[in-house]
Amino acid sequence: MIGIYDITGDFKFNVGGDIKLFNVGDVVFPKIDGLYIDWVGNWRKSAFTFQAMLIEKYIKNKIPVVIYDRYMCMTWKEYEYLKKFNTYFFEPAINNRSEFDYLPQWTNMLSMEDFNILEVRKRNIDLAYGHALKNRFKSFEKYYQEFSEHSTNRNIVYSDGNIHNDKIRDFKNSNLKLVKSYAWDDVRFTVCIDMQKNYDIGYLDPYIFMVMSKGCVPLIPIEHRYFGSIGMTIKNFNDMRWLIESEQDIKEIIIEDIYKSIEMYYPEFTMEYAEDKLKRCFV
């Protein structure tokens, strides 16, 4: 039996044998043959404490423990302790910590039959950004602000109000609209900008798959040098204009091509790849 501790609910693999899902507060720890942990940072106090209890219970029994550090938050001290045991370490970055194997956050490979993006209803947001802007201003200004300044007839929104008022005014003058919320079903395009560190280490935010499942087209900035073949790569706002201002609606073709590119060039993003990778740790 394999024990699973995953508060994200993202573990949907068949790793063989029976599965025991551990929940915070469990008081009975059964005999298991392996343990998978989707690592919890110490900002989630109760979940982090329970995680420590699980580890102490099982690692000294020499069973294999697989740790997926989704948020890349494990400390060096924690790693130094855990590596003494039969432990496997994974993280979703290509070139970050040499002690961790690369395993990106997986996704279901959807097809046109899985979701309706050929709807008659017109999407009223041309371009949207849905993350915090901290450490992302340079990329945001290069793509979103410059495009907005040259395409004043387009509806372009962002939702991070936790920035300096001077920035908010600056973006407003560039035709960028600050909104409290919006639905991705109403959005045509998004640019998957990130902080420089994530560009450097090869981390692709998995929200790219969420927006595609809603029929929104993700555009990949050229700064994401590790993922240039995964979809529509853009170098500047002119590349965006060609796509976003096209009268022909080709989003279904673009999204389908992205999934085909993942299967061909980036199979490590598929659930089948992740399942096989993790299953090997428990053999």
Report the run of H or E that residue 36 belongs to, with start and end.
strand 34-38
pLDDT at 115: 57
Instruction: Give the number of other CB atoms < 10 A from CB of residue 70.
Output: 19
Q: How far is 10 from 159, CA to CA, in rounded Å? A: 26
Confidence of residue 114 (pLDDT cuts 50, 70, 90): low
Token representation of residue 115: 């979701």
φ, ψ at 255 (rounded to 5°):
-65, -40
pTM listed for this prediction: 0.91
Distance CA 8, CA 10 (A): 5
**pLDDT (tens digit, 9 = 90+) per residue, 145-198?**
999 999 989 999 999 989 999 999 999 999 999 999 999 999 999 999 999 999
Confidence of residue 248 (pLDDT cuts 50, 70, 90): low
Q: Where are the alpha helices (DSSP H) in the chain?
A: 45-58, 76-82, 137-140, 146-150, 165-173, 196-201, 207-213, 237-244, 251-265, 271-281
Contact 206, 215 (CB under 8 A): no
Measured CA to CA in angstroms, residue 167 lies from 108, 136, 164, 178 at distances of 37, 13, 5, 11
Domain ranges of the chain: 2-104+269-281, 125-265
Of the two residues 74 and 24, the one the predictor is more confident about is: 74
Output the pLDDT for position 117. Answer: 54
The confidence band for 243, taking pLDDT boundaries of 50, 70 and 90, is confident
Residue with tokens 């219970």: 57
Compare 224 and 249 and report the one with higher pLDDT: 224
Residue predicted with more confidence, 250 or 125: 125
pLDDT, position 120:
54
Residue 63 has pLDDT above 80, yes or no: yes
pLDDT digits (tens, 9 = 90+) for 189-223: 999 999 999 999 999 999 999 999 888 999 999 99
Pairing between β-strand 34-38 and β-strand 125-129 as defined by DSSP bridges:
unpaired
Mean pLDDT score across all residues of the chain: 91
- The pLDDT, as a whole number, for residue 60 is 83
DSSP secondary structure letter of residue 270: B
**Residue predicted with more confidence, 243 or 224:** 224
Q: Do 66 and 90 touch, CB atoms closer than 8 A?
A: yes
pLDDT of residue 254: 86
**Inter-CA distances, 200 with 27, 71, 222, 234, Å:** 42, 16, 12, 17
Percentage of the chain with pLDDT > 70? 95
In CATH terms, the fold of domain 125-265 is Rossmann fold (3.40.50)
